[in-house]
Amino acid sequence: MTKLARIPAISHEIKFVADHEDEVNYLLETDGKECDPTLMSLLNDVSVRADKDVKKLLDALSKALGKELAGVVRIGKWHWPRNEWWTWTDVVLGARGRRGKRVCWLGLGVNSGDGGARLIGDFGLVRGGIDRLRMFEVACTPKVEGAWLTVDHPARYPNWASELIWFDKKLLLKTAFEDLNIDVVTRAKAFLRAAKPLLRHE
């Protein structure tokens, strides 16, 4: 039997930009004045390709979530903030066919920096502060093998707003998209099922 090729989750371009985030951002922001023009042109090409590859990855994962979460909660359109490796969607409660009530949002993004590329799933409430998020942390942690608040891990999530993390995994060149997709969908379903009783009171 022929073994099917496993599609990698990230490209070499994503890995390079994620591993050298500070240097890449500095050169792009300064138009590469201290860099050889040929190298700067190559860096621009790599950066553009990385952006496209991240968009492709997140688009595939968000479509899988939209399909697989249909029996758990209703989610809206995925939003794509400009120039960010992140996408998010509203979570709505209410009978299908009705407008429903927007109670929270679910996000998915590729983070970069000292730790290299990481896929992060985050969650926030439409209303309610840090104390309310802690209630979700307590309720969801036993179901998803760990859910934590960004404010409790400032070194890992510097300059982040108060959000609840439901997924955080390092991305390697050997990380297969198929495995990552299963992990994300499984974790999201478990997380939202655990959160749903609390969401009904939002």
Per-residue pLDDT tens digits for 84-120: 999 999 998 765 555 678 889 999 999 987 678 999 9
Average pLDDT value for the chain: 89
DSSP summary character for residue 149: E
Least confident range from 117-121, 134-138, 157-161: namely 157-161
Which is higher by pLDDT, 136 or 143? 136
DSSP summary character for residue 151: G
Assess if residue 2 is contained within a domain: no
Assess if residue 7 is contained within a domain: no
Assess if residue 3 is contained within a domain: no
pLDDT for residue 187:
95
Assess if residue 20 is contained within a domain: yes
pLDDT > 70: percent of the chain = 93
Assess if residue 16 is contained within a domain: yes
Residue 21, class by beta-carbon neighbours within 10 Å (0-12 exposed, 13-18 middle, 19+ buried)? middle
Assess if residue 160 is contained within a domain: yes
Assess if residue 5 is contained within a domain: no
Assess if residue 73 is contained within a domain: yes
Q: How many domains in the chain?
A: 1
Look at residues 82, 70, 161 and name the one whose alpha carbon lies nearest to residue 124.
161
pLDDT for residue 22:
85
DSSP summary character for residue 127: S
* Assessment of whether the complete model's pTM goes beyond 0.85: yes
Q: Which helix (H) or strand (E) holds 101?
A: strand 101-111
Burial 137-174 (b: 16+ CB within 10 A, else e): bebbbebbeebbbbeeeeebbeebeebbbbbbbebeee
Residues with Cβ within 8 Å of 138's Cβ and at least 6 positions away in sequence, in order, are none
* pLDDT tens digits for range 173-191: 999 999 999 999 999 999 9
Q: Is the pLDDT score of 41 beyond 90? A: no
Look at residues 93, 110, 114, 129 and name the one whose alpha carbon lies nearest to residue 167.
110
pLDDT > 90: percent of the chain = 61
Give the range of the structural domain holding residue 24, as residue numbers without chain letter: 12-199
From residue 85, how far is each of 3, 81, 109, 121 by CA, in Å?
Answer: 32, 8, 6, 12
- The C-alpha R_g of the chain, in whole angstroms, comes to 18
